[in-house]
Amino acid sequence: MIRTRTVTSSLHDLEPVWADSLPVSLSAGLAAAAPGGAMGVVSATAAAVSADIAATTGGMPPSLSKAITSGTAAHTSIDLVFDMAMAVANRGGVVTITDGTVQTVIDRATGKPVMRVTGATDTHTVSAASLVVDGNNVKLDVAGLLPGHTYSVVMAAGVLASGEQVAFGGVRSTTQLRFTTPEAGDATAPTVASIETSGNALAAGAPVALTIHFSEAVPVLAQAALQAPNAVLSGLSTSDGGLTWHVTLSAPATPVAAAANLLTLDMAQVRDAAGNAGAGSSTLLTYAVDSVVGAYVSPDLRIEDSGIDGADGITNAAAQRVQGRFVGEVAAGQYVELTIDGQVHKVQPAASATEPGVKVWSYDGGAAVFGDGVHTLSARLVDADGHASAAATRQVTVDTTGPQVVAAPGQQSATVDVAGDLVVTFDEAVYWSGAAATDQGVDLVNKLGGSTHLAPGAIVFSSDHKSLVIGANQHQLAGGNDYTLTLAGLVDKAGNLPGAYAIAFHTGGTYVDVTPPTALAATSADGGLHGIGQTVTIRVGFDEAVRLADGAATTLALSNGARAVVDHIEPDQHTLVLRYTVAAGDGDSDALGFQPASLAGMVTDLAGHALDASHIAFEHLAAVNAAGVAVPVRIDAHAPAAPAAPQLAAWSDSGVAGDGVTNVLYPAIVGSGAEPGAHIKLYAGATEIGSTDAGADGSWTVLDSGLNKAGTYALSAVQVDAAGNASAASAALQLTLAATGIFAAPTLAAASDSGLSDHDGITNQQVLTLSGAGTGKKVFVYDNGKLLGAATDTPDGSWTYTTPALAEGKHSLYVRLVGIGGGSDNYSDALAVTIDTRAPNKPNRPQLDAASDTGVSASDGITKDNTPTLKGSAAEDGGKVEVYDGARLLGSADVGADRAWSFTVADAAALADGSHALTVRQVDVAGNRGAASDALAITIDTKAPTIVATKSTGMLFQNWFNMEFSEKIVFAKSGSIDVYNLFNMPVAHLSGDVQTNWDIASNAQGVASVLEMNFFTFTGAFHLAMNDDALQDVAGNVAIIGSGNFSTFGM
């Protein structure tokens, strides 16, 4: 169907939206439509124009340079650009826009050629009378074109002419001017599709997060489009180009109590990419507001978490102290409403003992409140009228029952085959406690007193962590022997020790080692950044004892091109230790490692089997930092360049600016050109006088240089990068200080100097009281070059000043007296104060000194010494550690510069027989008390084993005499027992190092407490003489055998 109509419209109503124009060469031949079919520049050709040149007279005919289309399909504007000024020559003519083809035919009535459209589906004509001519441009409008449709522009010769009335030859081919209209536009406004919200009640500390899903993308959304009475809007953002928007509603800072509030969205401000806007208002949320209580309980509720993870809320501490802090200012009459399992407890805020002006709260609950099980805690700040803040919540799981052994060697069979694995299974998951490696593992002790310690690396956990598996390659037990397996450093998630520490069993069979050792893991506790001169330790753990192979390489190639050096093999022979010290110029690395296969051949097991690549069970070096967090080892082996020379700060430069002379004491020094974040050390000659950190732009400022004596100083700066690499010194600044008189530094009040000493200037107090003497009219107090405030002299010339809360770190405090000697200023010396409010980390688990671990093993924690010596390593140097037996304070010990400490229990605090859990807390020099360490479990046993039964037996024509003792016994290797008849004639000699005529067997309860002695064929009455404490219990107490006669009989 052909539609033909004449369109006359105005250009002024169209908004240009199409491509910029490009010139069209008329000599280029027939051109295609605009690229991609988009409307824009439409090409023209001279094919038809040249045909009409001969028909024109009076000068050069006009030439069409280009055509520009704009607008939409509904309203299209076409701009024809010519090479000269134009005019309409035939107002009765038309311009045709069509998707058909054009034929030139002879009009029978006039005999002249005319154009006829054929094969069209959409044709529009524009009257020449409606064309707008503007110089070289001829503009026409057409309405109602089809979207995404291709059209041609054609016109007959003579419709247009130049300003000199030279006719334009027309456009007669539909291939000359072609364009494609845009696809149909989006006319649908976006709507709210759905809403997601985290709640509908606002209170202090309880914002509500709202997510708005629109039906289509809304690229821009102003926050003003949202109205939220009695609430504060923040964080309006989109994460997916506008389809989804997020916003947060918070309670206002002013007190408000309003039960019903509406969050609305002005849909007229919601527009899609096409500009379509909604209408009206959309209600997104109905919410309540109660901000009468403006402060709230900090979300990090603190409990006594004694388990392996100090933050998981699983603990064996039934006596719980729940503590917290506040965000905001707590008003009078407000209290903490602590709910524990639905039971409400009222807790009053109290002043912090360590932070002046800060309020905290604490609640102590015993086992009646915190019994075994899961407990839900909720704490909020409440006033007398019932208004409340947001609630902070957490769960606490109390578990005071230790893991119990449900399967162990010797339980399934009377004899354990030494060629198989030793498996110990518990009724719950167990873990190494995280203490030092020497305090963890398995000890295997035979009846002769020989022992083997297996470190955790030689022991494998099952997938559920309920079973420990010790392979034959690790234990390497001998057949035909009695062993005791003792576990150390093993706890459940709550920190409970196992219910059974020792497992006795008998072995059989023969172990033959036919396999190479397996390298289980390569680890380093030195994760983090390391610079020149720093050392990285790498530990490779094996599944059995190893030694260095003869002639093997003693270095290991690292991924940065450097080499680690073999240092030693640990005493348990299961760990190879290598060390790498970073040298200047080594390769830098973001994750240091090595090829595991390069370890092959470096070690052998004790049977001589060399480590091969197929027995290396790890793929990379696993590194952690001091906090136990997985962090790669990073290497920076290149020192930074020297910074620019320091400069005197403008505000410290008196007199002629820039002359390097000043009478300002403690002048500020500035610099530039450092690496962002580098630590800057400022030197006067060779003496460090100050330090600071560079900013993101490399600039730095030392506010207080400490210079307070007249003289000339050569000041230089050194920058130290994050790896600890120090640059060369900068060029020097020559600074002359023209100083006035100096008097004594201010005095820090003893009450402000907390910690181990009240006169060392190290404190956890942030508000300090200073005092001094002077005769000035006014005393100005400075901290690191910054004015803190002023105090006025009293008549006797003394002054006192209380500082505002000072920041953590080092402070240089001095004063300036104004008005001395007719108005001149005097400065004091500086008082150095270090403020440290951070509690030290928990120390490593204490260790029982080997000399205090008496008995068969020096590492089993079973001892007869009830005033044992403990030792350990603190989290930081200095200060002291407090030693506890459960909740009982035993005493304290000083911490050395190497963080080591040693403590011996005093006679007055001697430990009672039984089990003890010993912990330590560090108190740093400033008086901050840290968390308790993991517990060291020891057993005190001061009671000697005694005889509970005797029995004479005959076996294989030999006479045996058995003595059963009250507890497990061992025969000391250096001891012996002599057997005498009634005439004191020796008849037998039993030696601890030769087991030919004696044995230690288990009683009916499985305890190795029966001494079996072979008297061969002797009969009669006898008595025993024990030498060198031959029979002892595990703790080393010598057995009491009495002095009576013992009878035997023959078969």
pLDDT tens string 649-683: 988 887 788 899 987 778 889 999 999 999 999 99
How large is the C-alpha radius of gyration of the chain?
A: 46
Which range of 130-139, 298-307, 473-482 scores highest in mean pLDDT? It is: 130-139
pLDDT reported for residue 574: 86
Interstrand relation of 178-180 and 244-250 (parallel, antiparallel or unpaired): unpaired
Beta strands (DSSP E) in 7-93 are 41-42, 64-71, 75-82, 86-88
For residue 636, the number of C-alpha atoms closer than 13 Å in the C-beta half-sphere is: 13
Tens-place pLDDT, residues 117-176: 999 999 999 999 999 999 999 999 999 999 989 999 999 888 999 988 899 988 888 888
- The angle at the Cα of 671, spanning 666 to 676, to the nearest 5 degrees, equals 125
Separation CA 408–CA 814 (nearest Å): 70
Spatial contact of 639 and 611, defined as CB atoms under 8 Å apart: no
The H or E element that residue 53 is part of is helix 47-53
Query: What order do you get walking across the sheet with 208-214 strand by strand?
Result: 192-197, 208-214, 244-250, 232-238
- Residue 62, classified by CB atoms within 10 Å of its CB into exposed (0-12), middle (13-18) or buried (19+), is buried
pLDDT reported for residue 23: 31
pLDDT reported for residue 29: 27
Q: Which residue has the higher pLDDT, 189 or 1027?
A: 189
pLDDT reported for residue 776: 56
- Residue 97, classified by CB atoms within 10 Å of its CB into exposed (0-12), middle (13-18) or buried (19+), is buried
Percent of the chain with pLDDT over 70: 90
Q: What are phi and psi of 140, to 5 degrees?
A: -140, 150
Separation CA 383–CA 888 (nearest Å): 38
Spatial contact of 482 and 504, defined as CB atoms under 8 Å apart: yes
Residue 565 has pLDDT above 70, yes or no: yes
Q: Mean pLDDT for the chain?
A: 84
CA-CA-CA-CA torsion sign (661, 662, 663, 667) = negative
Residue 568 has pLDDT above 80, yes or no: yes
Q: How confident is the model at residue 606 (pLDDT cuts 50, 70, 90)?
A: confident
Burial 396-410 (b: 16+ CB within 10 A, else e): bbbbeebbebeebbb
Beta strands (DSSP E) in 609-710 are 622-623, 633-635, 647-648, 661-662, 669-671, 679-684, 687-693, 700-702
Separation CA 217–CA 195 (nearest Å): 15
pLDDT reported for residue 985: 81
Q: How confident is the model at residue 438 (pLDDT cuts 50, 70, 90)?
A: low
Interstrand relation of 415-417 and 502-508 (parallel, antiparallel or unpaired): parallel
pLDDT reported for residue 1043: 55
Give the length of the chain: 1051
pLDDT reported for residue 367: 67
pLDDT reported for residue 682: 95
Q: How confident is the model at residue 956 (pLDDT cuts 50, 70, 90)?
A: low
Q: How confident is the model at residue 698 (pLDDT cuts 50, 70, 90)?
A: very high
Average pLDDT over every residue of 920-943: 91
Separation CA 649–CA 704 (nearest Å): 11
**DSSP secondary structure letters along 420-437:** S-EEEEESS--EE-SS-G
pLDDT reported for residue 904: 96
Separation CA 737–CA 709 (nearest Å): 7
Separation CA 350–CA 336 (nearest Å): 11
Average pLDDT over every residue of 639-649: 94
Residue 327 has pLDDT above 70, yes or no: yes
Which of the 8 DSSP states describes residue 601? T
The two tokens of residue 250 are: 């918070």
Average pLDDT over every residue of 544-565: 92
Q: What are phi and psi of 539, to 5 degrees?
A: -120, 125
3-state class (DSSP) for residue 785: coil
- Short-list 928, 975, 1028, 953, CA closest to 354: 928
Average pLDDT over every residue of 608-623: 90
Separation CA 532–CA 582 (nearest Å): 5
The CA-atom distances, in angstroms, between 128 and each of 134, 151, 161, 854 are: 14, 19, 12, 118
Read off the pTM.
Answer: 0.47
**DSSP secondary structure letters along 577-589:** EEEEE--TTPPPB
pLDDT reported for residue 266: 95
The CA-atom distances, in angstroms, between 384 and each of 251, 297, 332 are: 20, 17, 10
pLDDT reported for residue 28: 27
pLDDT reported for residue 739: 65
pLDDT reported for residue 87: 92
Tens-place pLDDT, residues 27-38: 222 223 333 334
Average pLDDT over every residue of 721-730: 94
Which range of 190-204, 467-481, 787-801, 1005-1019 scores highest in mean pLDDT? It is: 190-204
Average pLDDT over every residue of 416-439: 81
For residue 909, the number of C-alpha atoms closer than 13 Å in the C-beta half-sphere is: 14
Tens-place pLDDT, residues 765-799: 999 999 987 655 678 888 877 888 888 767 777 88
pLDDT reported for residue 501: 64
pLDDT reported for residue 1029: 81
Separation CA 271–CA 310 (nearest Å): 51
Separation CA 1032–CA 1040 (nearest Å): 9
Separation CA 989–CA 825 (nearest Å): 95
Residue 615 has pLDDT above 80, yes or no: yes
Residue 228 has pLDDT above 90, yes or no: yes
Separation CA 427–CA 403 (nearest Å): 6
Q: Which residue has the higher pLDDT, 45 or 660?
A: 660
Residue 370 has pLDDT above 60, yes or no: yes
Separation CA 848–CA 843 (nearest Å): 15
Q: Which residue has the higher pLDDT, 594 or 473?
A: 594
